[in-house]
Structure 1
């Protein structure tokens, strides 16, 4: 979209004389559009980017529009104030091209101005029971009545929203037909409206995030809305990911070869490392910073010279290879996919890859170093796929190294691969020619986490964890989820103290009163989404508890695992 500027006569004279720095771009607007559409802008804020930033910490193009008149300033201030209220602020968080695409979870994050604060003590107590008496802060508590959500959606979009108990991914109680959540304001964002384009009652509002960087996650928002007597009908919100990106290293890409298009944006690093943002449907699915460690020193890739996409971790989804210039010369940074939702994590095999390559770093040389002769990434057996995964771990820098092993997790003919670091556990299975990551470097050994176990042949994994020096104990039973890591299906929270104030955490007095640890009370939780009675839940958990569990631990080094894979 071309944003037109209203230029006063004096400014226009300066422009024509070559003394001004004002740009007008009406090339995309017809005469009819110019007569029916007008724009008002605030001169103190940045105008839309031309994708060529000079500094990372500032907007890429400074506004040169003359000071708006008092009425214009007032209108801009009114929309700034409006969209910094809980009622409207959430509409700026994520992109959507039409109301049916709105993520009501983020719109309602701060309550949307409709959170019910008039709760009875009975409702609060019912929620405590539902949430197993977890930490409770009434001031941060958000309660959305389902009927109020439907009214809110109709008022703010003009379209009916058909809701059920799953419309918001929050706690829900049928008794009150309401959703429950907490809102922590540490991540709240504020915005300034600096441009209004009008076409009758239709508005195009441009907002700038109130921080020092106006690219990437802090990019401008363009909201289309219709003004009514009751307020605004929100039509769309478009985050301007292209603003300030490196157009030479930003691409549309199908990462899973399934026809699903994503966009990979990169942003140069001026004072630090370059970074990337991967979007799907206009919203972030993954981000990355192009930095690493070489010979125990940090390196920061500031400018990308090449980006490649190919699957080097055998999961069937293309991974990301970035080559660029740092103060140390040319470096490669690797990011690998960890699930089917296009989440990516940095792979620390990059330093080893650089040492394996003679001469210039190129994408073909990196691919050869990572995949060897299997450049197509085809795996006919679990043996081949597991060998590739283990190769990546062996190439990754680690002071303590890794232990590897094969286990029988689900009782079929294909074993699972477990890889243990000093304080991490990873777990993989093999499905349809690719690996499926069940655990990606899950931590243990700190903060009361005792590690992970599995029930051979049962497809059940167990973790026990403690908090407050053992005063609260958690038992979690996990199972595989299609395309994702292990998910907790059932859990038990046991308090080894009497929670007199019902806040879910032990006070010093409560701990002192229960110092002998003889008191305990357990709370069972069902995470499956399938309704169960308390008796059914406890029966199921007791069944899982009675399985025989073994430590989820490998017992071979890399060479030992490769030998086993080659001979099985």
Structure 2
């Protein structure tokens, strides 16, 4: 209520200052010169509970400063609960999460610490891994255990270091992880090994943030990677200089034109969403992370997606993705069949054209499904 009051009082001040002006400046509220409105009149019309808040605000200058800071630090419209973080605090957090120690926590989405995908978090080593420092004997043991040949850099992480890292940054036992690290474990060396291309650390900037009790929430932007996962909502607690991670939600909806809930047999017990963006770009998000993408097209032109469904088109036991979209002032069908071997969705243009030809201009999802099932 305090922030609402401040907004109204600010508006009242603008009105009082511009009531006699013949033309309002950009951002001000138009005022009838013949019927001027005073700040006292506006405040008098507020609900009683807001007036009570005004009295409390006037008795506490510190509260006013805090609310003003919150209002100034949330220009983007994010709903952040708590006391706004200062620019100094945001800069400090930005530097931390851009370091190797924390960088991986922003590359994946998770609702709780137990949901973290440790393969993605530890991809660059997180300051506990070593690149190409394993002995020849270790490498030979790893390659034999993994049943593979040497083809790239080898990242090695000691089991004890991994478990200590998880405990320090999440306050959870690594054994409770739902998505454990997928490195190859060699018992003789008590170490995980994985071959990978050179890792890359992203530069992150905290746009704004707030603290609610012990919980910090910051809106983070990847300043180097301009994709649809550019921003996320990162939550953590602080324990001295350590960030204890709680969750990270990628803001897929920021640039999306529409969103649909879908269900796929192949992703059982997972939350599946379809996000549609400009130029026919369609993204499948599973449990908050990007799983696959397709382009809604007809005759080489991008469609504006109007409806989305998932059902088994070819009877192989897996749900396929069906899109209905508009191009050239007509509705068309796009079908993307799930390929188990390639683990992804792939277009079936022949099927698209056949359905379009049979349904003509009367295309809706029920008619598409009925035609496929016959």
Which TM-score applies when normalising by structure 2?
0.71
Instruction: Return the alpha-carbon distance in structure 2 between the equivalents of residues 268 and 185 of structure 1.
Output: 31
Summarize the alignment of residues 390-469 of structure 1 with structure 2, pairs less than 5 Å apart.
Answer: none
Give the drift of 1:208. Answer: 1.5
Q: Which residue of structure 1 aligns with residue 118 of structure 2?
A: 104
Instruction: Return the alpha-carbon distance in structure 2 between the equivalents of residues 15 and 99 of structure 1.
Output: 49
The structure-2 alpha-carbon separation of the partners of 1:366 and 1:189, relative to structure 1 and needing over 3 Å to count, comes to: farther
State which of 290, 294, 303 in structure 1 corresponds to 2:296. Answer: 290
CA contact (8 A) 2:309 2:365 kept: yes
CA contact (8 A) 1:42 1:195 kept: no
**1:264 aligns to 2:285 (yes or no):** no
Instruction: Return the alpha-carbon distance in structure 2 between the equivalents of residues 323 and 252 of structure 1.
Output: 15
The structure-2 alpha-carbon separation of the partners of 1:229 and 1:254, relative to structure 1 and needing over 3 Å to count, comes to: same
Give the drift of 1:187. Answer: 6.7
**1:135 aligns to 2:151 (yes or no):** yes
The structure-2 alpha-carbon separation of the partners of 1:177 and 1:15, relative to structure 1 and needing over 3 Å to count, comes to: farther
Q: Which residue of structure 1 aligns with residue 321 of structure 2?
A: 320
Give the drift of 1:41. Answer: 9.1
Q: Secondary structure of 2:174's partner?
A: coil
Q: Which residue of structure 2 aligns with residue 91 of structure 1?
A: 105
CA contact (8 A) 2:98 2:201 kept: no
Q: Which residue of structure 2 aligns with residue 79 of structure 1?
A: 93
The structure-2 alpha-carbon separation of the partners of 1:226 and 1:12, relative to structure 1 and needing over 3 Å to count, comes to: farther
**1:162 aligns to 2:169 (yes or no):** no
Q: Which residue of structure 1 aligns with residue 43 of structure 2?
A: none
State which of 200, 205, 210 in structure 2 corresponds to 1:197. Answer: 210
Give the drift of 1:329. Answer: 3.8
Cα displacement string for residues 50-74 of structure 1 (whole angstroms, at most 9, x for unaligned residues): 9xxxxxxxxxxxxxxxxx9xx9333
Instruction: Return the alpha-carbon distance in structure 2 between the equivalents of residues 127 and 367 of structure 1.
Output: 50
Instruction: Return the alpha-carbon distance in structure 1 between the equivalents of residues 108 and 336 of structure 2.
Output: 24
The structure-2 alpha-carbon separation of the partners of 1:184 and 1:190, relative to structure 1 and needing over 3 Å to count, comes to: farther
State which of 229, 242, 245 in structure 1 corresponds to 2:253. Answer: 242
Q: Which residue of structure 1 aligns with residue 264 of structure 2?
A: 255
Cα displacement string for residues 209-246 of structure 1 (whole angstroms, at most 9, x for unaligned residues): 2257564xx25211111111141111111122332333
Q: Secondary structure of 1:159's partner?
A: coil
Q: Which residue of structure 2 aligns with residue 353 of structure 1?
A: 355
Q: Which one has the bigger helix percentage?
A: 2
The structure-2 alpha-carbon separation of the partners of 1:132 and 1:357, relative to structure 1 and needing over 3 Å to count, comes to: closer
Q: Secondary structure of 1:309's partner?
A: strand
Give the drift of 1:311. Answer: 2.1
CA contact (8 A) 2:253 2:275 kept: no
Give the drift of 1:315. Answer: 2.6
CA contact (8 A) 2:158 2:191 kept: yes
CA contact (8 A) 1:150 1:163 kept: no
Summarize the alignment of residues 14-93 of structure 1 with structure 2, pairs less than 5 Å apart.
Answer: 19-20=26-27, 47=76, 72-93=86-107
CA contact (8 A) 1:266 1:276 kept: yes
Instruction: Return the alpha-carbon distance in structure 2 between the equivalents of residues 136 and 319 of structure 1.
Output: 35
In the alignment of these two chains, the number of paired residues is: 323
Q: Which runs of 5+ in 1 are unaligned?
A: 22-30, 51-67, 373-568
Instruction: Return the alpha-carbon distance in structure 2 between the equivalents of residues 136 and 258 of structure 1.
Output: 31
The structure-2 alpha-carbon separation of the partners of 1:357 and 1:266, relative to structure 1 and needing over 3 Å to count, comes to: same
The structure-2 alpha-carbon separation of the partners of 1:119 and 1:317, relative to structure 1 and needing over 3 Å to count, comes to: closer
